[in-house]
Structure 1
Amino acid sequence: MVRGLVGLSTRLLNICVDSLCKFRKLEKAESLIIDGIKLGVSPDVITYNTLINGYCCFVGIKQAYDVTLRMREAGIRPDIVTYNSLITGAARRLMLDRVLYLFDEMLEWGIYPDLWSYNTLMCCYFKLGKQEEAFRVLYKDLELAGLCPGLDTYNVLLDALCKCGYIDNALELFKEMQSKFKPELMTYNILINGLCKSRRVGTAKWMLTELKKSGYTPNAVTYTTILKLYFKTRRIRRGLQLFLEMKREGYTYDGYAYFAVVSALIKTGRTKEAYEYMQELVRKGRRHDIVSYNTLLNLYFRDGNLDAVDELLGEIERKGMKADEYTHTIIVNGLLKTGQTRRAERHFVSMGEMGMNLVTCNCLVDGLCKAGYVDRAMRLFESMEVKDEYTYTSVVHNLCKDMRFVCASKLLLSCYNKGIKVPTSARRAVLSGLRMSGCYGEAKIAKAKMKLTQVGNS
């Protein structure tokens, strides 16, 4: 390492540190800085800021903050970029106390927060449901700091409001923004995405019209977002019409639009048309990524073509692509639906820590139950560290189907005790099952406990 550093400048050192940080080689980046110092190459504030950003993204805030202490020991003063990296890292983890502490520390050191700092703080407030505090920053703190909210500020706020489900607030803020700035294409896309996720079809179409009136051309993000909304709300015909309109009028679109169309066709059983669209995608020379492979896997499993599944998995491996959680969930679910329960379990085990994601676990538990392997499903259920409403509801229903009403009753009562909401259908299934099997006493006790727990939780 030391021999390779001969002739290094600080600029070249920074480039090398940046490359190592991007590949998560933070220990090597630290070693490189030490070797550079030994050879007389002095790191500067950019060197340390790059390292801090790497720790914030891939390790933790404490480790990133420790770098600032080493900076000061080396006689290098942290700047606004240093603190913005730390604030962004803390906000990403919703560590509000740490964010506010960093703001105070900046001011103590005579470093004044900029728009990026305040944008990040507002975003953190919104994610934590603290709307009033976020708007206080927008309307009071920025003014006191002598800063004017810019277009980026409004985009950040609109995105945060939409992601937190405050669509009406976002629309009000959008009107305020229009009186000060001309919205960007990104602004419209943020709002259209938020409206689509809230399934407000009419308002999303109106926003698309406003986008066109402003002189912008809808891009792949715009149209793919609306396509997904149409398909989620079972408006398959409208979705296909929109896609054909994109092609006919020459609008920009990418592979994701195809995948949205293909996914919708698969879900509605129109596999032949889905194959045709995938073939068109290949003819156009679109490069496959893991999203496209996930779509194809879904298609092959639904068609029962396990040979094509194996071939596709081999292709993913040959191309050096990394399967994500969705890939593994599709595989587990597909194997279960085609009766390959043992193979599904083996694949789940081979996933290691990635296999413990909630969606895949829920899928395997439900699939094993439906295949009649309730005991195996219960062992997996007990080993799960994280469970949600779907987990409990699925297991309760499957236990009732297997005539294990007493066990289902105990599990349901544990949900009430933990404050986990389960559908009324699960409660009805347990109580009717207990009565049907002659366990009238247990049914009466269970009903009374459920009512008592409901009153206590309210």
Structure 2
Amino acid sequence: MEQRNIQPTSLTFFILIRRLIAAGLTRQAIRAFDDMESFVMEAVDETHFCFLLDTLCKYGYIKVAVEIFNKRKSRFCPNVRMYTVLIYGWCKIGRIDMAERFLREMDERGIEPNVVSYNVLLDGICRRARLQPEVRFERTIMSAEKVFDEMRHRGIEPDVASYSILLHVYSRAHKPQLTLDKLKLMEEKGICPTVATYTSVVKCLCSCGRVEDAEELLDEMVRSGVSPNAATYNCFFKEYRGRKDAESALKLYRKMREDDLYALSLHTYNVLLGMFMKLNRMDIVKEIWNDLCTSGSGPDLDSYTMLIHGLCEKQKWKEACQFFVEMIERGLLPQKVTFETLYRGLIQSDMLRTWRRLKKKLDEESIAFGSEFQNYHLKPYRR
């Protein structure tokens, strides 16, 4: 940079600090932060210091962040953002007791927590909590409700993020009625649920077998002006797969396709491919595969693996070989189990010549896969 007469900026140092912390070089990152003021044409303030703390916390170095925070308190005036970052850091490593302690310290210093501070603590309490047996679920909910009460006591009204965190806990614990009640409470308070909020409720209803209620909620979601995303629809597809309800899955899939083909995620396609392969609906599999290819989102390694293994189970060796070759030509290295399944099936079906042609194609493309392919040692199969 000196040779090209380029002056580093604070952004340059931010990138350097992030990469050093990601590599575990926290002391070097702190030294880079200390050197920043000598190089950049601006004063290093609380915003820059908060970035350092935030990056340390995100990579799990909360103790280093607290140490540097305590040492630099006199230079950088602590504010709500700094404390929120430290609360997040403690929550990230599961130390909720320390997160609560820092929340109390904020209050003692006369710094008023905001809704983000409480949401970070709430998320820490709820996200990693074990919800079985029932007593653990009740303990988690009591802790969360305690945070809600404290927020209201301070005049801070819980927002959509606060309720979404709690709804996620109800969903994980498979409590459909509690989930619906909390969603209704949100709406009564004039808080508009987001797509993530609705998806948590839909997931809970579907996993508990209440698909009809989930479908009604989906209609309500659309009427409210919230567009469902791929994750919302995947909840339905997974439940239909469990029920082997091909008609409902196909009806919803075609409705999604008519509305917006690109709303379908690669995961959605893979769920549907696996479902219809097991139900032996090869006409639908072909339709979905063609849509996947034209969508631009795939197919990927999982898509090809699922399709090839499904065709092998049905002893459709010609089609399996075609997709196997197509997969290789796309630069996707098949898993070893796929090699072995196809090899064993072709030998059993007296299609040794087909395997030899396939092996020749593999050898031609092996340069693209490098040493990873060389580690695939196929044992000769004896019938």
Structural mapping, 1:266-305, within 5 Å: 266-271=277-282, 273-284=284-295, 286-288=296-298, 292-304=300-312, 305=320
Structural mapping, 1:209-248, within 5 Å: 209-248=219-258
Instruction: Report if the CA contact (8 A) 1:228-1:260 is conserved.
Output: yes
Structure 2 CA distance, aligned partners of 1:112 and 1:44?
21
Instruction: Report if the CA contact (8 A) 2:240-2:246 is conserved.
Output: yes
Structural mapping, 1:44-193, within 5 Å: 44-72=45-73, 75-126=75-126, 127-128=128-129, 129=137, 130-138=140-148, 140-186=149-195, 187-193=197-203
**Once the two structures are superposed, what CA deviation does each residue of 1:402-426 show, in whole Å capped at 9, x if it has no partner?**
xxxxxxxxxxxxxxxxxxxxxxxxx
1:201 equivalenced with 2:211 (yes/no): yes
- Structure 1: state its 5+ residue gaps: 319-329, 341-349, 351-458
Instruction: Report if the CA contact (8 A) 2:203-2:235 is conserved.
Output: yes
Query: 1:263 — aligned with what?
Result: 274
Instruction: Report if the CA contact (8 A) 2:9-2:40 is conserved.
Output: no
- Matched AA of 1:16: I
Q: What is the root-mean-square deviation in Å for CA atoms of aligned residues?
A: 3.6
Higher relative contact order (CA 8 A, sep 6+): 2
- Structure 2: state its 5+ residue gaps: 130-136, 313-319, 345-371, 373-383
Identity among equivalent positions (%) equals 20
Query: Cα distance 1:145–1:24, how it changes in 2: closer, same or farther (>3 A)?
Result: same
- Matched AA of 1:60: Y
Secondary structure (helix, strand or coil) at the match of 1:72 reads coil
Using the TM superposition, give the Cα deviation of residue 8 of structure 1 relative to its aligned residue in structure 2, in angstroms.
3.5
- Matched AA of 1:176: L
Using the TM superposition, give the Cα deviation of residue 261 of structure 1 relative to its aligned residue in structure 2, in angstroms.
1.6
Using the TM superposition, give the Cα deviation of residue 70 of structure 1 relative to its aligned residue in structure 2, in angstroms.
4.7
Query: 1:379 — aligned with what?
Result: none
Query: 2:375 — aligned with what?
Result: none
Structure 2 CA distance, aligned partners of 1:310 and 1:252?
27
- Matched AA of 2:250: L
Secondary structure (helix, strand or coil) at the match of 1:303 reads helix
Structural mapping, 1:290-439, within 5 Å: 292-304=300-312, 305=320, 312=327, 315=330, 331=335, 334=338
**Once the two structures are superposed, what CA deviation does each residue of 1:40-69 show, in whole Å capped at 9, x if it has no partner?**
664332223223222222233223333423
Secondary structure (helix, strand or coil) at the match of 1:88 reads helix
Residues matched between the structures, number: 324
**Once the two structures are superposed, what CA deviation does each residue of 1:72-113 show, in whole Å capped at 9, x if it has no partner?**
36x113322222222223323332112112212322333222
Query: Cα distance 1:215–1:307, how it changes in 2: closer, same or farther (>3 A)?
Result: closer
**Once the two structures are superposed, what CA deviation does each residue of 1:204-248 show, in whole Å capped at 9, x if it has no partner?**
122113223334443433323322221233212210111112223
